Amino acid sequence: MSGVWQTDITYIQLTNHRWAYLATVLDPEKRKVLGYKIGNTRTAELATSALQMALDNHQKPLIVHSDMGSQYTSAEFNTKGQNYGLKHSYSLKGHPYDNGRMEAFHSILKREEVYLKAYETLTQVQAAIGWYINFYNRNRISNVA
């Protein structure tokens, strides 16, 4: 059983000046993305779907750690965690380093994939991010501290 999973949401801009949102669940010990969900709205459902993907495919952790964003403080997200017996810890307000490996993954993803392309549609974002996460988990040498 892994000790802690980290989760967060990041933004990806489309060429039409709209946004896509990526919710990610990371195992910082294994340095692997365990679950993710991409959508056009930043909601509790998006965050909960990423957590569910991770829970469906991996042994549950003891703790899920996130920032204090409304998606993660929502009843929907917290009920999901409680149903699986997970403890939920939060970063202190204004302390993104508490969720450092998750923040580092999103930074790497943007430098190595997102900022190199122009995405017109949510479908293009989903394909590109899916490819990158597969690459990251299987092939990329990880130096995330």
DSSP 35-103: EEEEESS--HHHHHHHHHHHHHHS---SEEEE---HHHHSHHHHHHHHHTT-EEEEPPTT-GGGGHHHH
- List pLDDT tens digits, range 73-130: 999 999 999 999 999 999 988 777 788 899 999 999 999 999 999 999 999 999 999 9
Instruction: For residues 9-30, give the mean pLDDT.
Output: 96
Q: How many domains are contained in the chain?
A: 1
- Tell me the C-alpha distance between 115 and 109, whole Å: 9
pTM: 0.93
**Residues of the domain holding 36:** 4-138
Per-residue pLDDT, 127: 98
Look at residue 127 and tell me if it is in a domain. yes
Determine whether 16 is exposed, middle or buried from the number of CB atoms within 10 Å of its CB (0-12, 13-18, 19+).
exposed
User: Which CATH number characterizes residue 43's domain?
Assistant: 3.30.420.10
Look at residue 95 and tell me if it is in a domain. yes
Q: Which two tokens stand for residue 52?
A: 């569910």
User: Cα 101–89–95 angle (5° rounding)?
Assistant: 55
Of 1, 59, 48, the C-alpha closest to 25 is 48
Q: Which two tokens stand for residue 43?
A: 């909601």
Look at residue 145 and tell me if it is in a domain. no
Look at residue 144 and tell me if it is in a domain. no
